C-alpha cells in the first residue's frame, strides 16, 4: 500500500480542479457549500429557482477565486436534473461532487396539516434528492472515476420533535435510508454517498434563536440543555465536515450520516 499521502496529508482534503454541483444554493447551507468549495478551488455549478439570489452567491464565490456557473432551476423533474448535470459537463467537462442542499419544511401539527403540504415537503426533501442523485450517479458512472454525493439530513432524521415536524422528520429519515442504500449500491463504483446531519446553526431562519431577547434566550437555554458542546452551531461548523465528505479523505466512508450537532444526537 502506498503511503505517499504522508508526504502531504492535507492533499487528502483537496477538491482543487474538481467540479461540484450545489442545489439549493441560495439557502443558508447551499450558499455556504458553494462558497466553501469555491474557496477550496473547485469549479461550482450553483442551482436554485431564484436567479437574482444565484447571481449574488456567484459573485461571492468568484471573489473567493472560484469558477462558477448558474443554473436557475430546482431539481424537481427529470428534465431539470439532466439540465443541471449537463451544465456541469458542458461547462467544466466533468461532474465530481454533488451537494443536494435544496429542501423545505412546513410546520404544522398532524391534525392541522394539509396532505398536500406533507407531500410537498416529501417531494422537495426526498424525491428531488433522489432524482438529483440518480442523474449525478449516471454521469459519474459514465466517467468511470468515482465521485462524491452529499445529501442533506438532519438530527430530525433520527429524533422526533414536538412542534409539528412529522413531514420534516419523515423526510430526513428517508434521506438517511437513501444514503445507506446508495452507499451499498454504488460502493463498488468508487462513488461515495453520505449525508450531513446538522442541528440548529446560524442562518437567516434561525437568527432569532441567537438573539438576546426574551424569546431567544428562553428557547436557546432549553435547547442547549441537550447540546453537550453548550452552544448553537455556526456555519464554519459545517464547512469541515462538508470538505471531508467532498474529498478523497472520505473515500472509505460511505452510507453514513455525519452529525454536525455539538453532540445533540449522542445524548
pLDDT, one tens digit per residue, over 63-118 is: 999 999 999 999 999 999 999 999 999 999 999 999 999 889 898 999 999 999 99
User: Which residue from 157, 191, 171, 96 is spatially nearest to 128, judged by alpha carbons?
Assistant: 171
Residue 168 bears catalytic tag: yes
Regions of the chain where pLDDT drops below 70? 1-2
- Cβ neighbors of 142 (< 8 A, separation 6 or more) are none
- What whole-number percentage of the chain has pLDDT above 90? 84
Residue 231 CA from chain centroid, whole number: 22
Residues 185 and 174: their CA atoms lie apart, in Å, by 16
Q: Which of 165, 168, 259, 264 is catalytic?
A: 168
Q: Would you state the pLDDT for residue 220?
A: 92
Q: Which three cell numbers stand for residue 47?
A: 442551482
Domains and CATH numbers, the chain: 15-203+234-266 (3.40.50.720)
d(CA 222, CA 117): 29
Contacts of residue 173, Cβ cutoff 8 Å, sequence gap at least 6 = 157, 158
Residue 180, all three cell numbers: 445507506
pTM of the model: 0.95
d(CA 256, CA 75) in angstroms, rounded, equals 23
| Residue 159, all three cell numbers | 429524533
Angstrom distance (rounded) from CA 15 to CA 65:
13
Residue 123: which residues within 8 A CB-CB, separation 6 or more? 76
Amino acid at each position: 500500500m502506498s503511503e505517499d499521502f504522508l508526504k502531504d496529508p492535507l492533499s487528502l482534503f483537496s477538491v482543487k480542479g474538481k467540479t461540484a454541483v450545489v442545489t439549493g444554493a441560495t439557502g443558508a447551507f447551499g450558499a455556504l457549500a458553494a462558497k466553501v468549495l469555491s474557496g477550496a478551488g473547485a469549479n461550482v455549478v450553483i442551482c436554485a429557482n431564484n436567479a437574482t439570489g444565484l447571481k449574488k452567491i456567484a459573485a461571492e464565490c468568484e471573489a473567493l477565486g472560484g469558477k462558477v456557473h448558474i443554473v436557475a432551476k430546482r431539481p424537481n423533474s427529470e428534465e431539470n436534473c439532466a439540465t443541471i448535470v449537463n451544465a456541469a459537463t458542458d461547462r467544466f467537462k466533468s461532474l465530481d461532487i454533488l451537494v443536494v442542499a435544496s429542501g423545505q419544511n412546513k410546520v404544522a401539527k398532524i391534525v392541522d396539516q394539509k396532505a398536500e403540504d406533507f407531500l410537498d415537503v416529501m417531494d422537495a426533501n426526498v424525491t428531488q434528492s433522489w432524482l438529483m442523485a440518480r442523474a449525478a450517479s449516471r454521469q459519474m458512472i459514465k466517467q468511470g472515476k468515482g465521485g462524491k454525493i452529499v445529501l442533506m439530513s438532519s438530527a430530525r432524521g433520527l429524533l422526533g420533535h414536538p412542534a409539528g415536524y412529522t413531514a420534516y422528520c419523515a423526510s430526513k429519515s428517508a434521506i438517511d435510508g437513501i444514503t445507506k442504500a446508495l452507499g451499498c449500491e454504488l460502493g463498488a463504483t468508487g462513488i461515495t454517498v453520505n449525508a450531513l446531519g446538522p442541528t440548529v446553526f446560524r442562518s437567516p431562519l434561525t437568527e432569532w434563536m441567537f438573539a438576546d431577547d426574551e424569546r431567544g434566550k428562553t428557547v436557546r437555554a432549553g435547547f442547549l440543555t441537550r447540546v453537550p458542546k453548550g452552544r448553537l452551531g455556526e456555519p464554519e461548523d459545517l464547512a469541515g465536515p462538508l470538505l471531508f465528505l467532498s474529498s478523497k479523505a472520505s473515500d472509505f466512508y460511505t452510507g453514513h450520516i455525519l452529525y454536525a450537532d455539538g453532540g445533540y444526537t449522542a445524548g
